[in-house]
Structure 1
Amino acid sequence: MATDRPTPAGPAKPDLSIVESRVYRGPNVWSYEPAIHLTVDLGILEDYPTDTLEGFTDQLLELLPGLERHTCSRGVRGGFVERLREGTWLGHVTEHIALQLQQEAGHDLRRGKTRQVKGRRGFYNVIYAYTDERVGLDAGRLAVRLVNHLVEPEDGFDFAEEMDAFLRRVQRLAFGPSTAAILEEAVSRDIPWIRLNEYSLVQLGQGVHAQRIRATMTSMTGALAVDIAGDKELTTRLLASAGLPVPRSEAVRSVERAVAVAERIGYPVVVKPLDGNHGRGVCLDLRDADAVREAFPVAQGESRRGSVIVETFVTGRDYRCLIIGGRMQAIAERVPAHVVGDGEHTVAELVEITNSDPRRGVGHEKVLTKLKVDDAAVELVRHQGFGMDDVPPAGDMVKLALTGNMSTGGISVDRTFEAHPDNVEIAEEAARMIGLDVAGIDFICPDIASPVRETGGAICEVNAAPGFRMHTHPTVGEPQFIAKPVVDLLFPPGAPSRVPIVAVTGTNGKTTTARMISHIFKGLGRKVGMTSTDGVVIDERLVIKADASGPKSARMVLQNPRVDFAVMEVARGGILREGLGYDRNDVAVVTNVAPDHLGMRGIDTLEQLADVKAVVVEAVPRDGFAVLNADDELVRAMRRRCSGSVVWFSMEPPGSKVREFIDEQCRRGGRAVVLEPTDKGDMIVIRHGRRAMQLAWTHLLPATFGGAAKMNVANALAAAGAAFAAGAPLHDIRQGLRTFTTSYYLSPGRMNLLDVRGIDVVVDYCHNAPGMRMLGDFVESYAGQKTGQADLGKSSRIGMIGAAGDRRDEDMRELGAIAADHFDVIVVREDAHLRGREKGVAAELVAEGVRARMARDSVRCKQVEIVTEELDAVRHCMARANPGDLVVLCVDKHPVVLAELEALTKHAQAGAHSTEVAGDPDLDPAELHEAAQAAGDEAAASAEA
């Protein structure tokens, strides 16, 4: 440990700093749960572990004694303190401080880890859990400041003040007690939720099953009922028409009218705003005209429409009855804000003592609200015979407010099981009359245990979106778990809250596989939401044209109320940047892992890339499935990370080692999708245990081009496995694969075959070496088919290729070398967004690979040219081609390229390149250029391609 090292004299200046921060909002490469990821630079502090910093540990524990409870890697209480005294690095200390700061704010979080950044001395990855991401980030920043301060005091840094400011920010951002109670109940039932704004608007559930709440207002709360409850005069009239006990009242707009009504109905009276809330502007027990005149402007000031209610003053205790779904769920007696004399302290001192209760906060941030001393409170105290500096006798209650609202500092006493059945029936009928699913009925009566029709009393108010904290956190009595009936209302027992999610990842083929799966389930009548590198598709409609393979797009799909089945293409970039956009997926598909994006975001090896792709497999629950490519060793190894079952797919023939492995798995009851060769061709077979079910001939599937496109055969196997795992019937899977084509409408930019003036043109997104190998195999097979159909032995193959600028030099060269084996002429283009490269550099690297291959071996390619602009390169390829030739265009912006090809098809002259498209309106060049530009901007910003 650190005790064996020589002790340095001490750091010249602490310079621990945050280099980068990320928020993972779902499963990620570090954790199954949401986490904050800070990359920190210890600077000179790399040479100073904690045991070399005199007094550091003692000062830290004095400021944050809760750290003594941290177990750390020791697994026992005090384990972290042991590490501190033995010597640990300050990145690790930052992790624990960030966790403890959040615990001080009431977030019970314990998960964290710190790992050194490979190859960078003094740099550490600090990962820790969070509940609210803004609180988590604030905790990390404050932790870094505290560490630096403890090493060398920072001028002007007062940890107590910083901690107080941090806690105040937490309170502002936190959900209120009502929302928090509902969310806690939802989480206990495994109902997912998404916060939709900075306040209390929350979505529970996903897609078609989603419900929304805002505090205690729900998706089922009628707007009309809320309006009625907000109009106190109308509320009273409706309740009176049902024979329910209510005070006599009338709405007025002038002082003199208020006095006239008060004299008619008889003193004492109550004056309150027509449409107020939280007890604001309510003036009670007014006994003469002067009191009414004085109270009127107070009530009118809180009325949005300027009207004021004058009603008879009903004496008794103040009860709040909570009705949910038409049934009484809780009753609380509300006691107005007050202090109780002790014979020693003044009223003002008693207020200060009461407000020091940690349960009291500002507004609704805590279970109790701090007492407020305003002019009205001082006047009320005076009416009771005291001044604020007087010492009331021991046991005397001094009221600071007349209303029992919690928002004005009142307390609550649980009376749920004391109410008389007649009173319960009256409250439930009142909620039904107004039409509220969640209602707070305010009763004034001598005793809720006695029937109000006999003892006197009335319903003085009906509230929409009533607060829960008086019931969940009563000052006296047992808390009532009233969130349960609210969640029951939104999600009755047995009702689903989640939509099935199929996640597809891999280096190549994930977009086509996702489209195939989506097509199968569209055929089943499902409303499918799909994300891909081309955009977000909701029920066959492209709603966003952009690279949408990241977590933000996934959340958009799950928020859409039409979606009842989700297919998510999951890219490496999104996982590294934010994790998954959801907590779990029912089916995870991994097509392959091949060299691409290496050297980016710390991913330098295939094994590391496989770890990133495996996140979707780790997100499979016990009753879910992972569909894995058994032909890929790295993908095959992911089975150990799956909590659910595995469905294998393989292109390997019977008798191979992979097939022997699959046979063994199936003998144990496993599932697989394989190819069985016959004299008629390859048959796709689904195996489940010892059963084998024939699905389709590969050469009869349109997407395989008669079996020539082996990559789409593999994609069909993966899609069939995912659909089978998700419960699709066999004949629907078969029909889906038989009707899925690589036309521009079903699979834009992926193996689109067009006839342009007698030239076969294939448009594809291929942009890396592994993809080029598969595309090259297709070119050979397809050209062989054409040769067998006619004497086309002398036809040429022209390829347009390009690589993204953020790939490694060797990857670009390899792409060119592989392409040289399959094309006679290669035209190298560049992406519109160069991703850090100078113009022409990426194209030259690809061309170098082509030339090196041409010089070293006897290959097909005889000529390589560089035309950097994509449209110019397309025109150049088409100008060189003759009828019967094969042109393969590996594109960046497929909408623009397809529009250009459509234009060429519509014009008789070979050299015409008009941008006007006379044919398909879906291929309008102006719109497609704009869409492609937007897609390119998104891709450059997110690097998720």
Structure 2
Amino acid sequence: MSERPTPDLQILETRVYRGGNVWSYDKAIHLVVDLGRLEEFPTNTLPGFTDLLLEMLPGLREHSCSRGKRGGFAERLVEGTWLGHVAEHCALALQQVVGHDIRRGKTRGVKGQKGHYNVIFGYADEHVGLAAGRLAVQLVNHLVEADPGFDWETELEDFIRRAQRTAFGPSTQAILDEAVSRDIPWIRLNQHSLVQLGQGVHAQRIRATMTSETSAIAVDVASDKDLTTRLLGAAGLPVPKQEVVRTEDGAVRAGERIGYPVVVKPLDGNHGRGVCLDLMSPDDVREAFAIAREQSRRGYIVVESQITGKDYRCLIIDGRMAAIAERVPASVTGDGTSSVRDLVDLANADPRRGVGHEKVLTRIKLDDAAEALVRNQGLDGIDDVPAEGATVKLALTGNMSTGGISIDRTFEAHPENIEIAEEAARMVGLDIAGIDFICPDITEPVRETGGAICEVNAAPGFRMHTHPTIGEPQFIAKPVVDMLFPPGATSRIPIVAVTGTNGKTTTSRMISHVFKGMGRKVGMTSTDGVVIDERLLIRSDASGPRSARMVLQNPRVDFAVFEVARGGILREGLGYERNDVAVVLNVQPDHLGLRGIDTVEQLADVKAVLVEAVPRDGHAVLNADDPLVREMRRRCSGQVVWFSMEEPGSETRDMIEAHCRRGGKALVLNPSERGEMIVVKHGPREMQLAWTHLLPATFGGRARMNVQNALAAAAAAFAAGAPLHDIRQGLRTFSTSYYLSPGRLNEVEVNGVNVIVDYCHNAPGMKMLGDFVDRVGESLESSHELARPSRIGVIATAGDRRDEDMRELGEIAAQHFDVVIVREDAALRGRARGEVAELVHEGVRRAIDAGARCKQVEQVHEEIDAVRHAMSRANRGDLVVICVDKHAAVMTELETWSSQAQAGSGVNPDSPAADPDYVAPAE
């Protein structure tokens, strides 16, 4: 053991998971940390560490940790635990300090790397969670060896302020809490209060207490206090007399016409800023005019008659009264010994008071207006000592934002007053409105007591109702969510997520095609881009979580199909909460050695994240023929739907039969003399779906990979509720033409040469493509009696695969082609130019030496040059298979070859053979 510890804890890598991931069912932050020499120093070897840590973060005493009881983590500290684990709990405790009730976390060692740990913890706000992780590491290092530049109080205060800047306000948070309680998903659209509730066509937006249903005209009307008063007055509602002026002299003249006392306030103000009450003379009006003018955006000032009484806020939601609060202006009560300033400091020490809207009460400010008000009450200033029991007002208005308090009066209001408030909201046109009453007593009719409506507010704050200083809180978020999502309304769109090593894109396209045929507006993500209702919006690899969120935010989409790749899950998680149907096609050794995934079993754990995201009423569509996929059934909370290409009597089919006898679902192939029939099994029932050789995408049944993809797509559509006739029609009309399935098994004829364009980039995919090439090649050979057609393959792989995977790709390709042309992708992914091609070339050459079919291998690194070289070598009747990177450029090049051939041979350009996307009929 080292002689003394040093503060070596450092963060090596940071990831933010925005959905389900390999570590957690929910969003989480993942830190990879290095303990350095601290690996040799668990907490029980660090004198004073535990006591000081618990003193700085007393909330850690509540953590149960693995003990499952309060104080469990404190016991672990005393017994001895490693500092990566401590950093995890500190990050959780820091988030709890700012009100985020997060308790999920775990720490695990990085396999094969001593002193390196995966620290995972949940978060409510991404920025707060990241800041908590960084501060936790700083704190642990400081406790190991004191850092003179580290001031814990200052750092904690900075962290709290940072959290408050990004936190939702009380109104937004109340609505979100209600939405979550109803299982309504939400997405934060900016760093402020703009939030989407629901998904796709069901989405609604809120910004604080403004909603998608809030009329922009109504907001403008409410912002114009003169117009609001005239509208309400025209409807016979009680309002004060008022005039709008632009000059100080005009304000004085208006005050004299209306009669003192008067109120002066900005026409377009809010939160009570610039409002001056109880003005008794022209001098008071002139002084108030300057204050109101400072807070006015357009320079218009309102002078109105003062209505005496108490200040009440009536909250109207969707035309009905939801809550009423009496607002009491900020004030302090003298104790005979303390100054006004001291009394304010004492009031602001209340932990319920904060800055702005961050807490249930706002701190009282001692500004010039407050000091002037204090002097008007007979004191010399804020440093004067008021008499014991004397109340000193510090603000004229009862707004919470100026330090006021609220008293709940919801069930005390007179019915006539409620009717007046509801009518006022209807006149202005607001779905959520704050009606400000000034009257002696809300329990008496304002028409009789002389009260009036002094203001109508758009986007009223909920804080005074959800957290009244006195009285019972009102659950006013419920009517807001009821308005946006009436009881029984749908907030989610169906989500089908597809993953696997090979076949994801084609299967996703098949599923989308089925539901497009049913009239659904499908949003699909794939490695080709984001497609919304058959329109390609973004052309890029869109198989990650950001693209999924883009689809869920689109207001046209009513059905989502996501291709989910391994990289996106490891990088950011799923990007959404759950999927109704998860499809896992296969798990093959591909992209191993990246991001800590070194074995095919670990890769299966990554793919299984989709299965874990299936809810109890959802389905997991699993390939029963793949042992690793078959094991995922244990991770599914919903129902499992099997699909299999095994023949009856096999072990897999016996397992499926037993599953169906228990009421389960499956799709299988039943062979017969007429061909293979796709059969849907549900409990004891069997329903015929389609002959595989009649599905265009299967090339007469020769493309076995697409037979499997069709099974998976049909199973997913069946699990998602599609009728069998719609599934059948979708599969029968889906082809691998370039327009429906670009870059996936596209067949074109160029000057008599049969060309297949596919995306195949890995060894498992090459096995399936090679099987298809053999089947197509045999049919071509049988139609050419004089000479055997050649098979020419243009192949490549990504640079981030292992060397042995690249060589294996070449070995497999050599078994199926006569000539192999090795090219490279445009993005080399960290490799030197020519390195990938050389490794693939080695594999081909090794297979040739072992007696493989291939007789010649060449390297042409640029993709278009490789295509040209392959086409120049091909003769009529030959088969050319091009494994593409940029399929659009390749198809354009093939079209050029076809056009040149037509110009030279006189081929009719209007004939089917002249169409570069022409698909030959299946035999």
TM-score exceeds 0.5? yes
Counterpart Cα distance in 1 of 2:66 and 2:144: 24
Alignment of 1:257-296 (within 5 A): 257-296=250-289
Alignment of 1:372-391 (within 5 A): 372-386=365-379, 387-391=381-385
Cα 1:483/1:256, change in 2 over 3 Å: same
The equivalent residue for 2:595 is: 601
Counterpart Cα distance in 1 of 2:255 and 2:368: 25
Q: Which runs of 5+ in 2 are unaligned?
A: 906-911, 918-923
The equivalent residue for 1:721 is: 715
The equivalent residue for 2:173 is: 180
Counterpart Cα distance in 2 of 1:407 and 1:472: 15
Equivalent in 8, 14, 34 of residue 15 of structure 1:
8
Report the CA distance between 1:14 and its aligned residue: 1.5
Equivalent in 105, 108, 114 of residue 112 of structure 1:
105
Equivalent in 727, 742, 751 of residue 757 of structure 1:
751
The equivalent residue for 2:145 is: 152
Secondary structure of the residue aligned to 1:750 is coil
Q: Does 1:501 align with 2:495?
A: yes
The equivalent residue for 1:57 is: 50
Report the CA distance between 1:395 and its aligned residue: 2.0
The equivalent residue for 2:873 is: 880
The equivalent residue for 2:519 is: 525
Alignment of 1:219-618 (within 5 A): 219-386=212-379, 387-618=381-612
Matched-pair contact (CA < 8 Å) for 1:519–1:736: yes
The equivalent residue for 1:24 is: 17
The equivalent residue for 1:102 is: 95
Report the CA distance between 1:785 and its aligned residue: 2.4
Counterpart Cα distance in 2 of 1:743 and 1:666: 36
Q: Deviations over 1:890-944 (max 9, x none)?
A: 01111111111111111238999xxxxxx99x999xxxxxxxxxxxxxxxxxxxx
Counterpart Cα distance in 2 of 1:313 and 1:255: 18
Counterpart Cα distance in 2 of 1:182 and 1:771: 49
The equivalent residue for 2:667 is: 673
Secondary structure of the residue aligned to 1:583 is coil
Counterpart Cα distance in 2 of 1:451 and 1:75: 57
Q: Deviations over 1:184-216 (max 9, x none)?
A: 000000000000000000000000000000000
Secondary structure of the residue aligned to 1:418 is coil
The equivalent residue for 1:821 is: 815
Counterpart Cα distance in 2 of 1:676 and 1:828: 39
Counterpart Cα distance in 1 of 2:870 and 2:39: 57
What letter corresponds to residue 243 of structure 2 in structure 1?
E
Counterpart Cα distance in 1 of 2:389 and 2:535: 71
Matched-pair contact (CA < 8 Å) for 1:895–1:923: no
Q: Does 1:782 align with 2:776?
A: yes
Q: Which runs of 5+ in 1 are unaligned?
A: 1-6, 913-918, 925-945
Matched-pair contact (CA < 8 Å) for 2:2–2:37: no
Share of identical aligned residues, percent? 74
Matched-pair contact (CA < 8 Å) for 1:529–1:536: yes
What letter corresponds to residue 789 of structure 2 in structure 1?
S
The equivalent residue for 1:3 is: none
Matched-pair contact (CA < 8 Å) for 2:355–2:363: yes
Matched-pair contact (CA < 8 Å) for 2:894–2:916: no
The equivalent residue for 2:154 is: 161
What letter corresponds to residue 443 of structure 1 in structure 2?
F
Counterpart Cα distance in 1 of 2:846 and 2:340: 92
Matched-pair contact (CA < 8 Å) for 2:205–2:212: yes
Normalising by structure 2, report the TM-score.
Answer: 0.97
Cα 1:314/1:792, change in 2 over 3 Å: farther
Cα 1:675/1:863, change in 2 over 3 Å: same
Q: Deviations over 1:2-46 (max 9, x none)?
A: xxxxx65312x2111000001111000000011010000001111
Cα 1:747/1:821, change in 2 over 3 Å: same
Q: Deviations over 1:42-64 (max 9, x none)?
A: 01111111111111111111111
Matched-pair contact (CA < 8 Å) for 2:797–2:806: yes
Report the CA distance between 1:793 and its aligned residue: 5.3
Report the CA distance between 1:792 and its aligned residue: 7.0
What letter corresponds to residue 795 of structure 1 in structure 2?
P
What letter corresponds to residue 627 of structure 2 in structure 1?
E
Equivalent in 102, 122, 127 of residue 120 of structure 2:
127
Q: Does 1:805 align with 2:805?
A: no
Secondary structure of the residue aligned to 1:118 is coil
The equivalent residue for 1:684 is: 678
Q: Deviations over 1:313-349 (max 9, x none)?
A: 0000000000000000000000001111122211100
Matched-pair contact (CA < 8 Å) for 2:898–2:916: no
Counterpart Cα distance in 1 of 2:478 and 2:660: 44
Counterpart Cα distance in 1 of 2:248 and 2:698: 84
Q: Deviations over 1:584-630 (max 9, x none)?
A: 00000000000101011000001000000000000000000000000
Counterpart Cα distance in 2 of 1:598 and 1:28: 18
Counterpart Cα distance in 2 of 1:160 and 1:237: 54
Counterpart Cα distance in 2 of 1:213 and 1:395: 45
Structure 1 segments, 4+ long, off by >4 Å, are 909-912
Counterpart Cα distance in 1 of 2:107 and 2:337: 54
Matched-pair contact (CA < 8 Å) for 1:786–1:792: no
Normalising by structure 1, report the TM-score.
Answer: 0.95
Report the CA distance between 1:300 and its aligned residue: 1.7
The equivalent residue for 1:929 is: none
After alignment, is 508-517 or 42-51 more displaced? 42-51
Q: Deviations over 1:684-729 (max 9, x none)?
A: 0000011000000000000000111000000000000000000000
How many residues were matched structurally?
A: 912
Counterpart Cα distance in 2 of 1:786 and 1:683: 26
Matched-pair contact (CA < 8 Å) for 1:879–1:910: no
Q: Deviations over 1:445-497 (max 9, x none)?
A: 00000000101110000000000000000000000000000000000000000
What letter corresponds to residue 537 of structure 1 in structure 2?
V
What letter corresponds to residue 189 of structure 2 in structure 1?
L
Q: Deviations over 1:72-92 (max 9, x none)?
A: 111111111111111111000
Q: Does 1:852 align with 2:876?
A: no
Secondary structure of the residue aligned to 2:351 is coil
Secondary structure of the residue aligned to 1:442 is strand
Counterpart Cα distance in 2 of 1:680 and 1:504: 31
After alignment, is 611-620 or 777-786 more displaced? 777-786
Counterpart Cα distance in 2 of 1:182 and 1:308: 34
What letter corresponds to residue 658 of structure 1 in structure 2?
T
Secondary structure of the residue aligned to 2:901 is coil
Counterpart Cα distance in 1 of 2:834 and 2:151: 55
The equivalent residue for 2:78 is: 85
Report the CA distance between 1:391 and its aligned residue: 1.7
The equivalent residue for 1:942 is: none
Counterpart Cα distance in 2 of 1:790 and 1:735: 35
Counterpart Cα distance in 2 of 1:97 and 1:580: 26
Counterpart Cα distance in 2 of 1:743 and 1:486: 49
Q: Deviations over 1:771-814 (max 9, x none)?
A: 00000000011122233445375100000000100100000000
Counterpart Cα distance in 2 of 1:416 and 1:766: 67
Matched-pair contact (CA < 8 Å) for 2:781–2:788: no
Secondary structure of the residue aligned to 1:614 is helix
Matched-pair contact (CA < 8 Å) for 2:780–2:877: no
Cα 1:878/1:68, change in 2 over 3 Å: same
The equivalent residue for 2:908 is: none
Counterpart Cα distance in 2 of 1:923 and 1:529: 28
Matched-pair contact (CA < 8 Å) for 2:750–2:916: no
Report the CA distance between 1:306 and its aligned residue: 1.0
What letter corresponds to residue 720 of structure 1 in structure 2?
A
Counterpart Cα distance in 1 of 2:782 and 2:461: 78
